[in-house]
Amino acid sequence: MNVAVFGEDTFTSAVIESLISNGHKVSIIITPNYFNKKDKVLEETANRHNIEFVKEENVNSEKVKDLLIKIKPDLIISAHLRKILHKDIFSQAAKGAINIHPSLLPKYRGLSPQHQAILHGDGESGVTVHYIDADVDTGEIILQKKFPVSGNDYILSVQTKMMAIYKTIAVEAIGLLEDISFRPQKQDLKQVSYFGPLKKTDREIDLSKSKQEVYNLVRAVSLPYKGAFYKNYTIWVANIADAEREAELKKKYSGAGFYFDEAADEIIISLEDGFVLSDDFEIN
């Protein structure tokens, strides 16, 4: 199958490598021009396989449309693209356009799905391949793959599990699309949730939250992201105090508060229902 791919990062590269290794032709890679080196891995992938590589500030431009008309792709694949493709673009493929979205749609539509599964304390997450239509992440579902999320998983470990799925899911989806008996599934509108991109304020520790909510925040925005913070402290790794430690801490701390125990080199976050502790943090 002749494929045009839109994307930005290592997840996109994994999809491209899987397509090529399974006999599909990737004719062009299109990425937004953020005027930084974020797309270097994609450019290296394009060079390695002699694929046309296009950096375009507006991925919905007439230039991009003209390139697609010239290439005449059978399928357009969007993989980790933080831009919305317009109909003039996603309609330029004979078999339509599909998106690979890092959540179990219709849950967590939008631009922060990987984080939301951890923030909400979900026991599982996954990856969805769906048709692209005029709205954001609303198209019919072609394929979903699930994986467990443990209570100790940080965002990096969740992304590692997702990456394993990205390496196979596009090829599996194409296999389904090539089956004339296949029928995609409409999204269950009763299960819809949407979240925009994470803002700096979303990473700020709120002392009115529960210990589980604060712990989930630390896990959800840790490396390779900028971390949960309180004033000039950034927390990278944390844990919830066990019953014995909690009883000990209650003798010294009461109510909500954020403390740095310099002698122990430890952050103590006192919350209404318990304590979150960290010995892996930065003072900015």
3-class secondary-structure state, position 140: coil
Q: Which of 46, 53, 55, 59 is nearest to 20 (CA)?
A: 46
- The CATH code that applies to domain 203-283 is 3.10.25.10
Chunked in runs of 10, what are the mean pLDDT values of the chain (284 residues)?
A: 96 98 97 87 96 96 97 97 95 96 97 96 98 94 98 97 98 96 96 95 97 98 97 98 96 93 96 97 96
Check residue 178 and give its pLDDT: 94
* CATH T-level assignment (fold) for domain 2-195: Rossmann fold (3.40.50)
3-class secondary-structure state, position 22: coil
Q: How far apart are CA 45 and CA 86, in angstroms?
A: 26
Q: Which of 48, 99, 45, 52 is nearest to 71 (CA)?
A: 52
| Residue 135 CB neighbours (<10 A) | 9
Token pair 């939301």 is at which residue?
116
Check residue 188 and give its pLDDT: 95
Q: Which of 73, 34, 30, 75 is nearest to 53 (CA)?
A: 30
Q: How far apart are CA 124 and CA 117, in angstroms?
A: 8
Which residues of the chain does CATH 3.40.50.170 include? 2-195
Name the amino acid, one letter, at 177: L
CB 161 within 8 A of CB 169: no
H/E stretch holding 167 reads helix 155-177
Q: How far apart are CA 61 and CA 59, in angstroms?
A: 6
Q: How far apart are CA 31 and CA 56, in angstroms?
A: 6
Which residues of the chain does CATH 3.10.25.10 include? 203-283
CB 278 within 8 A of CB 261: no
Q: How far apart are CA 277 and CA 275, in angstroms?
A: 6
Q: What is the dihedral of CA 87, 88, 94, 97, to 10 degrees?
A: -40
CB 205 within 8 A of CB 230: yes
Structure confidence by residue, pLDDT tens digits, 223-273: 999 999 999 999 999 999 999 999 999 999 988 999 999 999 999 999 999
Structure confidence by residue, pLDDT tens digits, 74-83: 999 999 999 9
Check residue 36 and give its pLDDT: 82
CB 147 within 8 A of CB 126: yes
Q: How far apart are CA 17 and CA 112, in angstroms?
A: 25
